[in-house]
């Protein structure tokens, strides 16, 4: 059965097609993709000829049959469990005498598992990936439903990551960071398949691929997945999964630095098609239509692979694709290393706070960072897992410890499994000053502006930018179970600030509360303008910050004109282009001394 005919998602990173006319021969993904049977390439040229390629082919044969049997509703649940048990026996070389009492599916799986185990042994590969696949299939038979993100991520690392581990093993690249990147890429591909099939899987088999906690945050039940079109709350919840995909694809980029040319080409091809496929979900309802990569997506990905074949691998810039990237390019060269160090710390802290780990674990990680910063402030050596990064930021680039600790404190306030409603004005402004104003204060070191001359400007501008971000992201934050509209403004508009965030975001108090927050943002911009140093030299050094101020003023004006409703994707892209033009204008003024 082809991927198009079967609406259910594969238990591995992609759908693995076995030629019906030649059961011992795997159709390589490049050919299958060209025929429209696969969404992503996962084998290609990454497996060199010899025992390694034979092991990968045996893996695909076993994985495809295992997945088909686990999904076969014509078999009873007991028969499917028996077949998976036979698969495990085949991996261990046990159980053949018991096969006579088992269904035919068990015979198939036992044989394929035994063949795969033998091929893995010849290639010197551990069979753990095959065991993980079997465990994922067992969970699928039992009707796995993810309670939260950790459960979904863990399931994908059983059902999708094994294919990456096998490919990495046969390629010969044993670098731990790239092996982790391979796992992340495989999980991202699996999530894209799940998003693509959300409606079809629920309607066909009652399967749910969105974390239950995310549906609860959105005030929805699983039955909404059976609707012909997704309501706005569901689209926002799907957006959370797309954010996770974006993060995983970013974390997969170290694969492009592998010295193994075959693997580098394969990684560029797979990442290229995945990123293009992911962009097609923006502004599209996956319940209303099935989204697949297009020919033009393939053409672009193949071009990426061709460049990868010619490129000498280099470490990736930390700030590639980030908002810090533009600021760094506008800065004088002497300040760029310090800004990159600030970006690295900010990204580390922000990724932990916005991650999908349980709140207690995120707080633990942030507390460890704060302890290291406290040690550095006392001129002691840090000892935590991120000690080298923090030591470089503080001792080498002289970023202020107090400002970095305030950033951590602000992000700690976001680490709650059950946020406690809308914040009071004082708490909201303190939060903005920590997560944004402190970043501006630390950036003064990179700009080469003395704290005494620039601190007030940095603090006021940081507050203005953060309040504008809050107004832009009201709906997205609400779906995440957060609301940042001030409690006093909500109460003045007749709303309960302790109500569910999605209720507040969709209620009549949203507009007056957002207007109050918009006025506070305007006041902060005005205060920043008044605090801008008079010294022309310092103003030139602050041009990157002034460019951000202009871009965010424009964003605030658009939000006000739209009555603080969500921005559609095309308008967001237009605003990004405006920001680039503002940055270029300030870059020219800095060069000519304006």
Q: Which two tokens stand for residue 296?
A: 């033009």
pLDDT tops 80 at residue 22: no
pLDDT tops 70 at residue 107: yes
Location of structure tokens 């005030």:
219
Q: Which two tokens stand for residue 432?
A: 């903005």
297 and 362, same domain (yes or no): no
**Phi-psi category of residue 172: left, alpha or beta, with phi > 0 → left and psi -120 to 50 → alpha:** left
- Among residues 131, 152, 180, the one where a domain terminates is 131
- CA 356/CA 85 separation, integer angstroms: 32
Give the pLDDT confidence score for residue 16 in this predicted structure.
31
Mean pLDDT, residues 19-46 taken together: 39
Mean pLDDT, residues 74-101 taken together: 80
Give the CA diameter of the chain. Answer: 89
Q: Which two tokens stand for residue 277?
A: 């496929």
Which one has a higher pLDDT value, 581 or 130?
Answer: 130
312 and 327, same domain (yes or no): no
Does residue 15 sit within a domain? Answer: no
Does residue 17 sit within a domain? Answer: no
**What are the CA-CA distances from residue 383 to residues 324, 378, 394, 400, 416 (Å)?**
28, 13, 14, 19, 26
Which one has a higher pLDDT value, 278 or 33?
Answer: 278
Quote the domain boundaries for residue 51: 39-131
474 and 520, same domain (yes or no): yes
Helices (H), 45-197: 51-71, 77-92, 104-123, 128-141, 149-159, 161-171, 176-196
Which stretch of 126-135, 200-209, 265-274 has the lowest confidence by average pLDDT?
265-274
Does residue 84 sit within a domain? Answer: yes
C-alpha radius of gyration, the chain, whole number: 26
- CA 224/CA 244 separation, integer angstroms: 21
Give the pLDDT confidence score for residue 577 in this predicted structure.
81
Q: Which two tokens stand for residue 491?
A: 């109460």
Q: Which two tokens stand for residue 254?
A: 């170290």
Helices (H), 448-563: 451-472, 474-479, 487-492, 501-506, 510-531, 536-541, 543-561
Q: Which two tokens stand for residue 240?
A: 């959370």
Of these ranges, 1-5, 401-405, 567-571, the one predicted with the greatest mean pLDDT is 401-405
Identify whether the C-beta of residue 26 lies closer than 8 Å to the C-beta of residue 18.
yes
284 and 402, same domain (yes or no): no
pLDDT tops 80 at residue 382: yes
For the question of whether the overall pTM of this predicted structure is more than 0.75, the answer is no
**What are the CA-CA distances from residue 502 to residues 152, 216, 220, 378 (Å)?**
23, 10, 10, 44
- CA 171/CA 181 separation, integer angstroms: 14
- CA 164/CA 587 separation, integer angstroms: 43
Cβ partners under 8 Å of residue 261, min gap 6: 309
- CA 256/CA 254 separation, integer angstroms: 5
pLDDT in tens, 325-357: 555 666 767 888 898 899 889 989 988 888 777
Give the pLDDT confidence score for residue 8 in this predicted structure.
33
- Among residues 255, 285, 316, the one where a domain terminates is 316
Does residue 348 sit within a domain? Answer: yes
Q: Which two tokens stand for residue 575?
A: 């605003």
Cβ partners under 8 Å of residue 223, min gap 6: none
- CA 21/CA 28 separation, integer angstroms: 15
Mean pLDDT, residues 62-79 taken together: 88
335 and 304, same domain (yes or no): no
- CA 74/CA 62 separation, integer angstroms: 20
Query: Which H or E run contains 265?
Result: helix 261-280
Percent of the chain with pLDDT over 90: 49
- CA 335/CA 445 separation, integer angstroms: 8
Give the pLDDT confidence score for residue 582 in this predicted structure.
75
Three-state DSSP state, 319: coil
pLDDT tops 80 at residue 297: no
- Among residues 292, 316, 340, the one where a domain terminates is 316
Helices (H), 331-450: 336-353, 359-377, 387-391, 401-412, 425-432, 438-447
Does residue 227 sit within a domain? Answer: yes
Which one has a higher pLDDT value, 324 or 153?
Answer: 153
- CA 548/CA 478 separation, integer angstroms: 26
Cα dihedral: 124, 126, 127, 130 (round 10): -110
- CA 361/CA 347 separation, integer angstroms: 17
Does residue 13 sit within a domain? Answer: no
pLDDT tops 60 at residue 474: yes
Spacing of C-alpha 466 from chain mean position: 22
pLDDT in tens, 437-451: 999 999 999 999 999
The sign of the CA dihedral 34, 39, 45, 47 is negative
Give the pLDDT confidence score for residue 417 in this predicted structure.
55
Mean pLDDT, residues 233-239 taken together: 90
Comparing CA positions, the residue from 417, 475, 418, 9 lying closest to residue 231 is 475
Identify whether the C-beta of residue 305 lies closer than 8 Å to the C-beta of residue 265.
yes
Give the pLDDT confidence score for residue 12 in this predicted structure.
33
125 and 149, same domain (yes or no): no
Mean pLDDT, residues 62-80 taken together: 88
**Number of structural domains in the chain:** 3
Identify whether the C-beta of residue 372 lies closer than 8 Å to the C-beta of residue 390.
yes
167 and 122, same domain (yes or no): no
Comparing CA positions, the residue from 238, 187, 184 lying closest to residue 214 is 238
Mutual angle of helices 451-472 and 510-531, in 10-degree steps = 160
184 and 105, same domain (yes or no): no
pLDDT tops 50 at residue 4: no
Does residue 31 sit within a domain? Answer: no
Does residue 27 sit within a domain? Answer: no
Identify whether the C-beta of residue 287 lies closer than 8 Å to the C-beta of residue 230.
yes
401 and 471, same domain (yes or no): yes
Identify whether the C-beta of residue 86 lies closer than 8 Å to the C-beta of residue 99.
yes
Three-state DSSP state, 321: coil
Task: Give one DSSP letter per residue of 196-245, joined into a string.
Answer: HTHHHHHHHH----S-HHHHHHTT--GGGGGSSS--HHHHHHHHHHHHHH
Give the pLDDT confidence score for residue 295 in this predicted structure.
75
124 and 148, same domain (yes or no): no
176 and 231, same domain (yes or no): yes
Average pLDDT over the chain reads 83
370 and 285, same domain (yes or no): no
Identify whether the C-beta of residue 506 lies closer than 8 Å to the C-beta of residue 293.
no
Identify whether the C-beta of residue 197 lies closer than 8 Å to the C-beta of residue 209.
yes
pLDDT in tens, 540-552: 889 889 988 998 9
CATH number for position 560? 1.10.600.10
pLDDT in tens, 479-538: 878 899 999 999 999 999 999 898 999 999 999 999 999 999 999 999 999 999 999 989
């Amino acid at each position: 059965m082809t991927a198009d005919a079967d609406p259910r998602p594969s238990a591995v990173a992609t759908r693995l097609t076995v030629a019906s006319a030649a059961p011992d021969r795997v159709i390589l993904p490049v050919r299958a993709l060209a025929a429209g049977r696969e969404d992503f390439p996962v084998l290609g040229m990454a497996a060199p000829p010899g025992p390694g390629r034979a092991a990968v082919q045996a893996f695909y044969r076993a994985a495809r049959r295992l997945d088909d049997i686990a999904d076969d509703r014509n078999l009873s649940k007991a028969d499917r469990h028996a077949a998976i048990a036979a698969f495990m026996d085949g991996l261990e070389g046990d159980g053949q005498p018991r096969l006579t009492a088992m269904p035919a599916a068990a015979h198939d799986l036992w044989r394929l598992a035994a063949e795969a185990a033998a091929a893995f042994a010849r290639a010197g590969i551990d069979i753990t990936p095959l065991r993980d696949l079997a465990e994922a299939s067992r969970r699928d038979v039992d009707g796995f439903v993810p309670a939260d993100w950790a459960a979904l991520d863990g399931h994908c690392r059983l059902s999708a990551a094994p294919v990456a581990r096998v490919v990495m093993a046969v390629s010969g690249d044993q670098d731990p960071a790239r092996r982790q990147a391979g796992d992340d890429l495989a999980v991202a591909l699996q999530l894209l398949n799940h998003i693509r099939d959300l409606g079809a899987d629920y309607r066909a088999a009652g399967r749910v691929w969105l974390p239950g906690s995310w549906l609860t945050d959105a005030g929805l039940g699983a039955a909404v997945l059976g609707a012909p079109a997704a309501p706005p709350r569901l689209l926002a919840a799907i957006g959370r999964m797309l954010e996770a995909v974006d993060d995983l694809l970013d974390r997969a980029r170290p694969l492009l630095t592998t010295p193994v040319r075959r693997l580098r080409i394969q990684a560029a091809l797979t990442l290229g098609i995945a990123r293009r496929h992911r962009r097609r979900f923006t502004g599209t309802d996956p319940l209303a239509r099935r989204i697949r990569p297009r020919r033009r997506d393939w053409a672009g990905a193949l071009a990426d692979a061709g460049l990868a074949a010619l490129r000498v691998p280099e470490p990736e810039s930390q700030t590639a694709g980030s908002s810090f990237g533009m600021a760094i390019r506008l800065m004088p060269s002497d300040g760029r290393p310090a800004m990159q160090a600030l970006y690295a710390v900010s990204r580390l802290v922000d990724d932990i706070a916005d991650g999908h780990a349980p709140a207690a674990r995120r707080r633990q990680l942030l507390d460890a960072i704060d302890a290291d910063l406290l040690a550095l402030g006392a001129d002691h050596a840090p000892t935590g897992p991120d000690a080298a990064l923090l030591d470089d930021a503080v001792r080498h680039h002289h970023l202020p410890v107090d400002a970095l600790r305030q950033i951590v404190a602000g992000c700690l306030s976001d680490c709650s499994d059950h946020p406690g409603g809308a914040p009071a004005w004082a708490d909201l402004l303190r939060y903005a000053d920590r997560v944004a104003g402190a970043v501006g204060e630390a950036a003064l070191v990179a700009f080469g502006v003395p704290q005494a001359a620039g601190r007030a400007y940095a603090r006021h501008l940081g507050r203005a930018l953060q309040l504008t971000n809050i107004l832009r992201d009201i709906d997205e934050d609400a779906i995440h179970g957060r609301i940042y509209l001030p409690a006093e403004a909500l109460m003045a508009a007749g709303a309960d600030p302790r109500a569910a965030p999605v209720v507040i975001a969709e209620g009549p108090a949203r507009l007056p509360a957002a207007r109050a927050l918009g006025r506070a943002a305007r006041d902060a911009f005005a205060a920043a303008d008044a605090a801008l140093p008079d010294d022309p030299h310092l103003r030139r050094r602050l041009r990157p910050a002034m460019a951000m101020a202009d871009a965010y003023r424009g964003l605030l004006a658009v939000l006000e004109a739209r009555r603080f409703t969500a921005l559609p994707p095309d308008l967001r892209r237009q605003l990004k282009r405006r920001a680039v033009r503002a940055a270029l204008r300030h870059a020219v003024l800095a060069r000519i001394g304006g």
